Amino acid sequence: MKVTVMTADEQILTVDVDPDESVENLKALLEVETSVPLRQQQLHFNGREIQNTDKLSTVGVQDGDLVMMVKVTSNERPSQDIIRLNPDGSAVDPQAFRQHIRGDSQLMGQLLQNDPALAQAILGDDINELQNTLRSRHQQRLELKRKQEEEIALMYADPFDVEAQKKIEAAIRQKGIDENWEAALEHNPEAFARVVMLYVDMEVNGVPLKAFVDSGAQSTIISKSCAERCGLLRLLDQRYRGVAIGVGQSEILGRIHVAPIKIGHVFYPCSFTVLDAPNMEFLFGLDMLRKHQCIIDLKDNVLRVGGGEVSVPFLQEKDIPSHIRDEEKLSKLASLSQGAAGESSTAWEKTPDAPPRAPTTGAPAVNPPQPQGGGDFEAKVTKLVELGFDRASVIQALKLFNGNEEQAAAFLFGG
């Protein structure tokens, strides 16, 4: 609706406002048009002064009505009760305090530039937020004052006082830390943001999932639940079970020696260590990264596989499921990866057929079965040769894995 406003100097203005607009906002528009500060305006309608908190429709202002504006000039300072603060820094009368600050356009401009949080609290409708912000600013002032007093005291401290010299040393060190922090904010602000881990889309045995790419984990890891969902649990070799102990601890259920994974449009053979880890699904470790000649290209934000024959983009944060992004679960995942396959972790391995072994570092180790001799060994050679491998390579692989047919097959398929 359009409201006609007549000023004290008989200037007539037409202002387009909403019927539910507050009188205070109408005064703000008039401040722009007339350069009369909001706090010096008095608006009268039908011979009665209307207050800032009133709505135009509530006081009866309708389309085409006339409102009188009177300029109030006063050299008196604002009432001390309006700006008075409690000992904890909060306002005695927060409503009046907020209205007083809002009415001073110059002060509000300074607040918006120098302290946006306090300015937003004043412009908002939450009194509790305003009071909490005022208390916070009060605490900051007290802390700054305390530090200044300590610095002055140290300037005049006895140079032979050991405790004073320790405080001076701590102050100098803290100053260096603060300067380093300020330099980081200016030159390296991204260091203060949370880093999104590297995930890519993969398919394990035909089942799509989000794979965590971790070059710091020595082995590729899959959880029991994920292996079951991918139909691989039936291939679990429990002879490789044990306990991984590092930053965290998790039970190693065994190993799946070979299964197909799909990266992009190409299939690759992969082996997995199976962990009883409900907070982690699939971790693509250094063993498979090296085997398939992967390149973590952070410039183009892609994972290149096979020396570059396949490139898959790393997932953006919005594409990573919330249960994976959870920081607590990521920390558990880091503990598991270090405990099961980390470079600096220590794992105590135990198998059903052997006593506990000494602690080992790196990938989980087990007591492998001894090679079978005679006809049984020849039968394994024949079976692997039928898969298309030459006899010499088959015999070498079986000897390498002490007669373990599945491990030899995995080695030959991945070679």
CATH classification at residue 395: 1.10.8
Q: Provide the CA 15 distance to its chain's centre, in angstroms.
A: 47
125 in any annotated domain: no
Catalytic residues: 214
Whole-number Å distance between alpha carbons of 261 and 111: 58
Q: At 217, which CATH number?
A: 2.40.70.10
Q: Provide the CA 119 distance to its chain's centre, in angstroms.
A: 27
371 within 8 A of 377, measured Cβ to Cβ:
yes
79 in any annotated domain: no
Residue 38 gets which letter from DSSP? Answer: G
pTM: 0.45
Q: pLDDT tens for residues 353-387?
A: 433 333 333 444 333 344 444 567 888 888 887 77
pLDDT at 326: 56
Q: Which alpha helices (H) appear in 105-256, and where do they start and end? A: 105-114, 116-123, 127-155, 162-187, 224-229
Range of the domain at 250: 199-341
| Same domain membership, residue 323 and residue 266 | yes
13 in any annotated domain: yes
Name residues whose C-beta falls within 8 Å of residue 264's C-beta, 6 or more positions apart in sequence. Answer: 305, 310, 311, 312
pLDDT at 405: 80
* Total domain count, the chain: 3
pLDDT at 294: 93
Q: Categorise residue 231: left if φ over 0, alpha if ψ from -120 to 50, beta otherwise.
A: left
CA distances from 56 to 17, 36, 49, 59, 302 (A): 9, 20, 12, 6, 59
| Same domain membership, residue 398 and residue 332 | no
| Same domain membership, residue 333 and residue 385 | no
209 in any annotated domain: yes
Give me the numbers of helices (H) and strands (E) for the chain, helices first please.
Answer: 14, 15
Q: Which residues of the chain have pLDDT under 70?
A: 73-83, 244-249, 278-279, 323-375, 410, 413-415
pLDDT at 330: 46
pLDDT at 83: 66
| Same domain membership, residue 275 and residue 402 | no
